[in-house]
C-alpha cells in the first residue's frame, strides 16, 4: 500500500473538477493500482506486517468523509476479490449452514431426553418457525440494507435501544463461546479413536490451525470451505441412504429394525418435559439460517431471491435435518449408554450418527471423520463472526472504541485478538466433566439464537405497525414478507414459548427428583440471565425506561430504502410475462425453487 502523500497526490489531481464524484473516481483508480502494485512489489511477510496497520493510516485526513468512505470500501472490496468466492461456494455454504455440533453431536443429548418422537417434534416446530423469520429478515434486510450491526441493529430503531444492546451482546457472546464449544466437541469426537492421549494435545493443533486461517488466510480458503461443505452434505445424504438400508435389514448384523425402538424403549423418553428439553439444541442446530435471507437480499433481484432462499430453507430442514433425525430415532434407542447426556456407560463416541452406523465399522469411521471436519469448520467461522460482531458493537457505541480497529486487509484486528484469547477456554477439554462444559456452552449459544430470532420478528411487527400508524404503504417496500405480520406473530409466540419451556426444564430438570435445581438452572438458562442483566443494565445507565419506541415516533426515513410502487409493479408484471409461455418444467422449477 502506498503512503498517504501519494494518495493525497492522486486526490489532488481531481480538484479542478466541479463535482466530488470525479475525486472519488481518481481515489478509486489509485487504490486499485496500489492494491495490485503492492501485491507484486513487496514480500509476503512485508505485506502481512503492513496489513496489520490501521486502515486509516494511509488515508489523507484532509479528504472529505465521502472520499474516505469510498476508499475504505474499495480496499475492503479488493480483499474480498482476492478470496475467489464463486457461486458454487455460496451455494454449498447455503446448503451446509447448520450442519455442525448441534445436529451431529447435540442431537444425541436431545434423543436421550426427548426420545425419537420428541426429537422429531422439536426440530419440526423450530423449523416451521424459521420460515416467517426468514421472510421477516428478508423484508427488513431489503429495507435497511446498510444498517451497521446487522439484523440485531433493527431493534435499536424499531423496538428499543436497550433491547438492541442486550440482544447484540448476547449474540456476540454466543459466537465467542462457539469456538471453544466446537474445539471441545472435536476433542470428544476424537475419543472414538483414542482415549489415551490428552484431549488438549488435539485442541492445540486445532486452535493453531484456526488462528492461522483467521489471521493470515489463504487463497485456497474458499476451496477448503467448499470441500468441507461438500463433505458434510454428502455425508448426510449417504447416511440417510445407508440408514434406510439398515432399518430394512439390508446391511449390518442387526437385522430388521423397523419401528422397534419407538415401542421399546418407547417414542418419548420423559413425556412432555422431554419434548421441551430438545428445543434449545434444535435452535442451535438451525442457527444462522437467517443469514440466508440477508445474502439473498443483496442479490440483484431480492423479490425473487428471498422467496427462493426461503424454499431452500424448507428443503434443508426436511432433507438434512428432519429425515436424518427420524432415521436416527429408528436406529438408536434413547437409552443407549453411548449417547451424550445418557446416565452412565462409555462416552468414547457421543454422536448418534456414528452410533447409528456402528454395525458397519468402516462407515462409522468415515462419519466420525466428517463430523470432526464439520466442527472445525464451524469453529473457524465462529472466530471470524465473533471478531466482526465485536467490532460492529464498538462501531455502534455498545462496546469500547478500542475494538473499532480495522486493519488494511479489512480484519478487525483487536477484536480478532480478543476473540482468540477467549478461544483459549477450549483447553478445558481435558476437564473430567467434559459433558458439563459442553452443556454450558451449548445452552448459552442456543438461547442466544432464540433471542436473535425473537428480535427479528419483533422488529418486523413494530416496523409494520409504524408503517400503518404513519400512513405509509407496504407497496413502497422493495420486498414484502410472504408470511406477513401474522407469520411474525407466530414465530414470536413460538420463541416465547420455547423460552418459557426452557425455564421450566432448567429449574426442574428432566429426570430430577422434582425439586428446584439452581445449578442446573444457571447451566441451562445462563444465556437469558445474561440478556436480562444487559437489558436492565443499559436502561439504568441510559435512564431509558420505556418498553418500546412508540409507533408514531419510529423514524421511517433515516436509513430506509424507499422504492417506487409503480416500478415494482412493472417489474412484477414483466416477471409474470416472462414465464407465461415458458415450458412446463421451467414453470415447475420456478415454483419449487
Range 308-320 burial, b when 16+ CB lie within 10 A, else e: bbbebbeebbeeb
Q: Is 450 found in the same domain as 321?
A: yes
Quick one: which of 437, 99, 441 has its CA closest to 288? 99
- The whole-number pLDDT of residue 162 equals 92
Q: What are the cell numbers at 99?
A: 450442519
CATH assignment of the domain containing 196: 1.20.1740.10
37 lies in some domain: no
40 lies in some domain: no
Q: Is 443 found in the same domain as 299?
A: yes
List, for residues 162-176, the tens digit of each pLDDT value. 999 998 898 888 888
- The whole-number pLDDT of residue 10 equals 38
Within 254-360, where are the H helices? 260-261, 271-276, 279-285, 291-297, 302-316, 323-331, 352-356
Q: Is 482 found in the same domain as 408?
A: yes
> Can you tell me the distance from the alpha carbon of 524 to that of 440, in angstroms, rounded to the nearest whole number?
7
Q: Is 583 found in the same domain as 472?
A: no
> Can you tell me the distance from the alpha carbon of 359 to that of 12, in angstroms, rounded to the nearest whole number?
73
Q: Is 572 found in the same domain as 520?
A: no
3 lies in some domain: no
Q: Is 587 found in the same domain as 443?
A: no
> Can you tell me the distance from the alpha carbon of 100 to that of 225, in angstroms, rounded to the nearest whole number?
13
Does residue 407 sit in helix, strand or coil? strand
17 lies in some domain: no
119 lies in some domain: yes
- The whole-number pLDDT of residue 4 equals 40
Count, in order, helices (H) and strands (E) of the chain. Answer: 25, 0
Q: Is 452 found in the same domain as 421?
A: yes
Q: Is 588 found in the same domain as 455?
A: no
> Can you tell me the distance from the alpha carbon of 52 to that of 407, in angstroms, rounded to the nearest whole number?
5
Find out whether 164 and 155 touch, Cβ atoms under 8 Å. Answer: yes
> Can you tell me the distance from the alpha carbon of 423 to that of 425, in angstroms, rounded to the nearest whole number?
5
208: Cβ–Cβ under 8 A, 6 or more apart, which residues?
Answer: none
Q: Using alpha carbons, list the distances in angstroms from residue 148 to 156, 254, 314.
A: 11, 56, 29
Q: Using alpha carbons, list the distances in angstroms from residue 381 to 95, 214, 224, 375, 505.
A: 15, 9, 12, 10, 31
Q: Is 174 found in the same domain as 134?
A: yes
How many Cβ atoms sit within 10 Å of the Cβ of residue 287?
24
> Can you tell me the distance from the alpha carbon of 186 to that of 101, in angstroms, rounded to the nearest whole number?
9
- The whole-number pLDDT of residue 67 equals 59
**pLDDT, averaged in runs of 10, over the chain (593 residues):** 40 39 44 46 57 57 60 48 50 68 84 92 93 90 75 86 90 86 84 83 89 67 70 89 91 81 90 89 81 67 77 86 94 86 54 88 86 83 84 87 80 88 84 71 75 92 93 85 94 94 90 81 85 93 90 84 76 77 78 74
What is the residue whose three cell numbers read 408514531?
Answer: 552
256 lies in some domain: yes
- The whole-number pLDDT of residue 466 equals 93
212: Cβ–Cβ under 8 A, 6 or more apart, which residues?
Answer: none
Burial class of residue 53 in the structure, from the number of CB atoms within 10 Å of its CB (0-12 exposed, 13-18 middle, 19+ buried): middle
Phi, psi of 310, rounded to the nearest 5 degrees: -65, -40
Q: Is 489 found in the same domain as 586?
A: no
- The whole-number pLDDT of residue 495 equals 94
11 lies in some domain: no
Q: What are the cell numbers at 524?
A: 441451562
Quick one: which of 494, 472, 554 has its CA closest to 159? 554
Find out whether 447 and 527 touch, Cβ atoms under 8 Å. Answer: yes
> Can you tell me the distance from the alpha carbon of 294 to that of 309, in angstroms, rounded to the nearest whole number?
10
Find out whether 232 and 370 touch, Cβ atoms under 8 Å. Answer: yes
How many structural domains compose the chain?
2
What DSSP character marks residue 341? T
- The whole-number pLDDT of residue 160 equals 92
> Can you tell me the distance from the alpha carbon of 270 to that of 505, in angstroms, rounded to the nearest whole number?
11
**pTM of the shown model:** 0.81
Q: What are the cell numbers at 435?
A: 459433558
Expressed as residue numbers, the domain containing 586 is 565-592
Per-residue 3-state assignment (H helix, E strand, C coil) for 12-80: HCCCCCCCHHHHHHHHHHHHHHHHHHHHHHCCHHHHHHHHCCEHHHHCCCCCCHHHHHHHHHHHHHHHH
Find out whether 126 and 286 touch, Cβ atoms under 8 Å. Answer: yes
97 lies in some domain: yes
Radius of gyration of the chain (CA): 25
Q: Is 418 found in the same domain as 273?
A: yes
Burial class of residue 378 in the structure, from the number of CB atoms within 10 Å of its CB (0-12 exposed, 13-18 middle, 19+ buried): buried
**In degrees to the nearest 10, what's the CA dihedral of 355, 359, 361, 362?**
-100
> Can you tell me the distance from the alpha carbon of 451 to that of 526, in angstroms, rounded to the nearest whole number?
13
For the chain, how far is it from start to end, CA to CA, in angstroms? 44
Q: Is 477 found in the same domain as 574?
A: no
- The whole-number pLDDT of residue 25 equals 45
Amino acid at each position: 500500500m502506498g503512503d498517504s502523500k501519494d494518495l493525497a497526490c492522486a486526490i489532488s489531481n481531481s480538484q479542478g473538477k466541479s463535482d466530488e464524484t470525479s475525486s472519488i473516481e481518481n481515489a478509486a483508480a489509485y487504490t486499485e493500482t496500489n492494491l495490485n502494485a503492492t501485491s507484486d512489489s513487496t514480500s509476503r511477510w512485508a505485506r502481512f506486517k503492513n496489513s496489520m496497520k490501521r486502515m486509516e493510516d494511509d488515508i489523507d485526513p484532509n479528504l472529505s468523509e465521502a472520499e474516505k468512505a469510498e476508499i475504505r470500501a474499495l480496499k475492503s472490496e479488493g480483499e474480498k476479490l482476492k478470496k475467489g468466492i464463486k457461486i458454487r461456494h455460496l451455494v454449498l455454504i447455503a446448503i451446509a449452514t447448520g450442519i455442525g455440533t448441534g445436529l451431529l453431536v447435540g442431537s444425541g443429548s436431545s434423543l436421550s431426553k426427548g426420545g425419537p418422537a420428541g426429537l422429531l417434534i422439536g426440530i419440526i416446530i423450530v423449523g416451521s418457525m424459521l420460515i416467517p423469520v426468514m421472510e421477516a429478515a428478508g423484508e427488513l434486510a431489503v429495507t435497511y440494507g446498510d444498517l451497521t450491526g446487522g439484523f440485531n441493529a433493527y431493534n435499536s430503531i424499531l423496538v428499543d435501544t436497550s433491547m438492541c444492546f442486550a440482544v447484540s451482546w448476547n449474540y456476540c457472546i454466543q459466537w465467542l463461546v462457539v469456538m471453544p464449544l466446537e474445539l471441545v466437541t472435536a476433542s470428544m469426537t476424537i475419543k472414538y479413536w483414542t482415549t489415551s492421549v490428552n484431549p488438549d494435545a488435539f485442541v492445540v493443533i486445532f486452535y493453531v490451525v484456526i488462528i492461522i486461517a483467521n489471521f493470515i488466510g489463504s487463497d485456497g480458503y474458499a476451496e477448503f470451505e467448499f470441500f468441507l461443505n461438500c463433505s458434510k452434505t454428502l455425508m448426510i445424504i449417504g447416511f440417510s441412504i445407508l440408514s434406510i438400508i439398515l432399518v430394512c435389514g439390508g446391511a449390518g448384523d442387526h437385522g430388521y429394525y423397523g419401528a422397534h425402538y419407538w415401542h421399546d424403549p418407547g417414542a418419548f423418553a420423559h413425556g412432555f418435559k422431554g419434548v421441551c428439553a430438545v428445543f434449545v439444541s434444535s435452535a442451535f442446530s438451525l442457527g444462522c439460517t437467517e443469514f440466508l435471507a440477508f445474502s439473498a437480499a443483496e442479490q440483484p433481484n431480492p423479490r425473487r431471491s428471498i422467496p427462493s432462499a426461503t424454499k431452500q430453507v424448507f428443503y434443508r430442514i426436511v432433507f438434512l435435518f428432519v429425515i436424518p433425525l427420524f432415521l436416527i430415532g429408528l436406529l438408536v434407542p434413547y437409552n443407549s449408554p453411548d449417547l451424550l447426556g445418557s446416565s452412565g456407560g462409555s462416552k468414547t463416541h457421543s454422536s448418534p450418527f456414528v452410533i447409528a452406523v456402528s454395525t458397519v465399522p468402516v462407515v462409522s469411521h468415515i462419519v466420525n471423520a466428517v463430523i470432526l471436519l464439520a466442527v472445525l469448520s464451524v469453529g473457524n467461522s465462529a472466530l471470524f463472526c465473533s471478531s466482526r460482531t465485536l467490532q460492529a458493537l464498538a462501531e455502534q457505541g455498545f462496546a469500547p472504541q478500542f475494538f473499532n480497529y480495522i486493519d488494511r486487509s479489512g480484519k478487525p484486528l483487536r477484536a480478532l485478538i480478543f476473540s482468540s484469547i477467549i478461544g483459549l477456554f477450549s483447553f478445558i477439554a481435558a476437564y473430567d466433566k467434559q459433558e458439563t462444559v459442553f452443556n454450558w456452552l451449548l445452552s448459552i449459544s442456543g438461547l442466544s439464537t432464540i433471542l436473535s430470532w425473537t428480535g427479528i420478528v419483533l422488529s418486523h411487527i413494530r416496523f409494520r405497525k409504524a408503517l400503518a400508524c404513519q400512513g405509509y404503504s407496504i407497496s413502497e417496500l422493495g420486498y414484502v414478507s410472504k408470511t406477513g405480520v401474522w407469520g411474525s406473530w407466530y414465530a414470536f409466540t413460538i420463541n416465547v414459548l420455547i423460552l418459557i419451556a426452557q425455564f421450566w426444564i432448567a429449574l426442574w430438570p428432566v429426570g430430577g427428583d422434582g425439586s428446584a435445581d439452581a445449578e442446573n438452572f444457571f447451566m441451562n438458562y445462563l444465556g437469558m440471565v445474561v440478556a436480562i442483566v444487559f437489558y436492565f443494565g443499559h436502561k439504568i445507565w441510559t435512564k431509558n425506561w420505556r418498553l418500546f419506541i412508540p409507533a408514531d415516533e419510529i423514524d421511517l426515513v433515516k436509513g430506509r430504502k424507499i422504492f417506487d410502487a409503480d416500478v415494482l409493479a412493472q417489474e412484477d408484471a414483466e416477471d409474470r410475462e416472462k414465464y407465461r409461455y415458458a415450458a412446463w418444467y421451467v414453470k415447475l422449477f420456478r415454483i419449487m425453487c
